Structure 1
Amino acid sequence: MKHTAYRVFKKPFFGRFMRPWRWPEGIDRQHWQQLSIASGSGAQLAALLAESPVAAARGAVLLAHPMGTAAKGFWLKHGHAELLRQAGYHVMLFDLNGFGESGSTTMDYPLDVLAAGQALQARYPQLPVAVVGASMGAAMSLCALAQADHPFKAAVAEAAFPTLLHFWRRYPLPRLGIQLSKLVYPAGERRLRPVHAATRLVGRPPLLLIYGEDDIYTPVADGRQLQQAFSAATHTEFWQVAGAGHTLAYEAQPQAYAQRVTAFLDQHLGASA
């Protein structure tokens, strides 16, 4: 009954994105292993894992997807997963609950990130683990950093929103739903606010924030708000990407993205190891 109520509540937010998942066209499946992960949200999460072809892996990276029917396939379709594999990182992709191949339960998406991260750490206990997220996945990853038992030694967040209202302010029905949730279940709404997570950060993982100058959904100003919040808690870097739309920094500047993100991970996961 509880999960049914949540599925109804989710409709105005995510209904158009919750579609049957398809493997991205033209992407080789041979390196990817299918996994199922039990989340604290109550969902069984569908995940894919591929190891780096590099002999001595530097670490392992969890990729948390943005909203969209591609779900975890976003990282395959746009090339992020292969970039990280070739840079020496084992990579795990997963569907947040209700997206892709994962069952739909509650709105506790940070618990999905947490469960996937813990599963990745358990797989490679000798390696440091980082999380890379985009939009919704980035915001929920930042919220997961406030969980006491998260495994992440570094985080890269592209196009993360400071609060749910920042992202949904243009959409009347979702905006109303968020405002109601602040009255009916304020603790739950706070757990989905990255700016709130900044005040409760666990372990001080260094953070790279990425924002596109052409992003109309999570503009640079929203990113600066998060930068200010997280800079008070941990080492925080900010990259403003010219010509990049929402979650499209790698597409806009592939060489700069590859250099900036892999250098950040190499530095901070290397220091952690």
Structure 2
Amino acid sequence: MKHTFYQVFKKPFFGRFMKPWRWPEGIEQSQWQPRHVTSESGATLSTLMALAHTSTAKGAVLMVHPMGTIAKGFWLKHGHAELLRQAGYHVMVFDLNGFGESTSTTMDYPLDVLAAGDLLQAEFPDLPIAVLGASMGASMSVCAMSHATHPFKAAVIEAAFPTLLHFWSRYPIPKLGIQFSKLLYPKGERSLRPSLAAQNLVGSPEMLLIYGDDDIYTPIKDGKLLFNELQKKTATQFWQVKNAKHTLAYSAQPEQYATKVVSFLDDHLASKTNHSFTQHNAF
């Protein structure tokens, strides 16, 4: 009954994006190994993992997708996953519940991020773990890092909204749904509020925030609101990307993005590696 309610409640928000998942064109599927993990949201999450292309790995990165029918395929299609693998990082992509191949349950998306992060850490227990998220995935990753058990040592957060209403206020029905949720289930709404999670951040993971100056959905001013909260709790960088639309910083400035993101991960993950790690047959 609970899940049925949420499936109805989700439709104005995500209904048009919850479609059967397909592999992006041109991706070598044999390099990606499927895994499934159960989230405390009640969902069975679909994940794909791939090893770094280098002989040793610096760490592992969980990639949390934005809204879209492509779901976890976003990171494969736009090249982020390959960038990190070439740079020496194992990667895992996954579908948030209700998207792609994952089952649909509640809107407790931070719990999905935690479940996937724990799975990645279990696969590579000797390596530090980071999270890279975009839009919805970025926002839910910030919320996940307010949980005491999160495994993340660093985070790259692109186009995160500070609150649900900052993103959804331009859409009348979702806006109304959020306003009702604040009255009927305030705890649930608060659990999905990145600006509040920033105040309760656990473990002080270093943050790189990325916002495009052509982003009409999560504009620079919204990013600054979240930045102001995060920097009170941890070392936080803010990168404003020229000519970048929503979630497309890598496409807009590929060389700068590669340098900025890989350098950030190298600084804050590679330094935390417990010992030299040689690739093994993890899959």
Q: 2: distance between equivalents of 1:84 and 1:62?
A: 11
Q: Give the residue type in structure 1 aligned to 2:57.
A: A
Deviation of the 1:271 alpha carbon: 2.7
2:153 paired residue number: 153
2:101 paired residue number: 101
2:254 paired residue number: 254
Q: 1: distance between equivalents of 2:80 and 2:270?
A: 20
Q: Give the residue type in structure 2 aligned to 1:222.
A: D
Please give the secondary structure, in 2, of the residue aligned with 1:23: coil
Q: 2: distance between equivalents of 1:64 and 1:112?
A: 10
1:25 paired residue number: 25
1:114 aligns with 2:114: yes
Q: Give the residue type in structure 2 aligned to 1:249.
A: A
Please give the secondary structure, in 2, of the residue aligned with 1:72: helix
2:204 paired residue number: 204
2:41 paired residue number: 41
Q: TM-score, normalised on structure 2?
A: 0.96
1:79 paired residue number: 79
2:67 paired residue number: 67
Q: Tell me which moved more, 144-153 or 24-33.
A: 24-33
Deviation of the 1:103 alpha carbon: 0.2
1:265 paired residue number: 265
Question: C-alpha deviations, 1:146-187, integer Å up to 9, x for none?
Answer: 011000000000000000000001000000000000000001
1:215 paired residue number: 215
2:277 paired residue number: none
Please give the secondary structure, in 1, of the residue aligned with 2:31: coil
Q: Give the residue type in structure 2 aligned to 1:97.
A: N
Q: 1: distance between equivalents of 2:229 and 2:4?
A: 35
Deviation of the 1:30 alpha carbon: 1.6
Please give the secondary structure, in 2, of the residue aligned with 1:143: helix
1:125 paired residue number: 125
Question: C-alpha deviations, 1:217-265, integer Å up to 9, x for none?
Answer: 0000000001100000000000000000000000000000000000000
Please give the secondary structure, in 1, of the residue aligned with 2:203: coil
1:242 paired residue number: 242
Q: 2: distance between equivalents of 1:68 and 1:199?
A: 29
Matches within 5 A, 1:2-21: 2-21=2-21
Q: Give the residue type in structure 2 aligned to 1:43.
A: A
Deviation of the 1:25 alpha carbon: 1.0
Deviation of the 1:26 alpha carbon: 1.4
CA RMSD after TM alignment: 0.5
Spell out structure 1 runs of 4+ moving beyond 6 A.
Answer: none
Please give the secondary structure, in 2, of the residue aligned with 1:30: helix
1:191 aligns with 2:155: no
Deviation of the 1:272 alpha carbon: 2.3
Please give the secondary structure, in 1, of the residue aligned with 2:29: coil
Q: Give the residue type in structure 1 aligned to 2:128.
A: P
Question: C-alpha deviations, 1:90-128, integer Å up to 9, x for none?
Answer: 000000000000000000000000000000000000000
1:54 paired residue number: 54
Q: 2: distance between equivalents of 1:199 and 1:265?
A: 23
2:134 paired residue number: 134
Deviation of the 1:27 alpha carbon: 1.2
Q: Give the residue type in structure 1 aligned to 2:103.
A: G
Q: Give the residue type in structure 2 aligned to 1:241.
A: V
Please give the secondary structure, in 2, of the residue aligned with 1:119: helix
Q: TM-score, normalised on structure 1?
A: 0.99
